[in-house]
Amino acid sequence: MPLVRHVRPCSSGPGAAAALTACATILTACAGGHFDGTLYRGDGFAFRIPAPPAAWERLDVSHAALAFRDPASRATIMLNGRCGRDAADVPLSALTNHLFLQFTDRQVKLQELVPFDGREAMHTSLVAKLDGVLMAYDVWVLKKDGCVYDLLYLAPPADADRGLEAFHGLVHGFATVDPDGT
C-alpha cells in the first residue's frame, strides 16, 4: 500500500522524503474518513481540531487520518486514531515507545503525563534517526473511549521550533467527539 495517494504541491527539499517515510513507519492505521476543515470522522472515532494555519498544506496519506505540511518550516503534522485494539490494556508509555521501535539514536528530551481532552495523555519530545536521517518529534498519545489517538509533529532538528507553535495550537484545540454525530 503506498504511503502517499495524493499530495498537494509542497516543497520537496531535504527531509521531505524522510518525513513521509518516518510518518509511514510511525502511523499504521489507514485513512479513509471525512474531514470538513475542523471535524474529522474516521472508522469508529471522530475528533475536532482548530482550522490549521493557511500556510499548512493538507496531505492525503494512507497511514494517518490527517496530515499537514508547512514548506517554510519543513515540518509535518499527522493525526490518527484507531479503536478496539491497544486501547484498554496497553499503557501510554508502551504505546508511545511502539511508535519509535524502528528508530535509532533516540534521545528523549521530555516525557510527561499531562491532562488532555478530559483524560491523561503521554507527551514526548525527542530526536531520533530513521534510516540514518535525524528528525525532531513532538508526540501526544491519548487513550479515550476505547480508542487511541496519536498526534505527531516532525521536522529537521534545525527547523523544529519553527512550526511547533502551530502544532501545539492543534493539540490544545483537539477534542474527541461522538463518531456517530449524535
Listed in sequence order, the residues at least 6 apart from 120 whose beta carbon sits closer than 8 Å to its beta carbon are: 92, 113, 114
Q: pLDDT tens digit string along 47-75?
A: 999 999 999 999 988 889 999 999 999 99
**In whole angstroms, what is the distance from residue 29 CA to residue 62 CA?**
8
Q: pLDDT tens digit string along 75-111?
A: 999 999 999 876 678 999 999 999 999 999 999 999 9
Q: What letter would DSSP give residue 97?
A: H
pLDDT above 60 for 29: no
**In whole angstroms, what is the distance from residue 27 CA to residue 4 CA?**
13
Top pLDDT among 116 and 7 is at: 116
Place 19 in a pLDDT band, splitting at 50, 70 and 90.
very low
Q: Across residues 143-171, what is the average pLDDT? A: 95
pLDDT at 120: 95
What domains does the chain contain, in order, with CATH numbers?
A: 15-176 (3.40.1000.10)
Question: Grid coordinates representing 150?
Answer: 496519536
Place 32 in a pLDDT band, splitting at 50, 70 and 90.
low
Listed in sequence order, the residues at least 6 apart from 20 whose beta carbon sits closer than 8 Å to its beta carbon are: 3, 4, 61, 76
pLDDT above 50 for 6: no
Sign, CA torsion 27/98/135/108: positive
Mean pLDDT of the chain: 84
pLDDT at 129: 96
**Exposed/middle/buried for residue 51 (C-beta within 10 Å: 0-12, 13-18, 19+):** exposed
pTM for the structure as a whole: 0.82
DSSP string, 20-79: HHHHHHH--SPP--EE-SSEEE-SS-EEE-PPPPTTPEEEEETT-SEEEEETTTTEEEEE
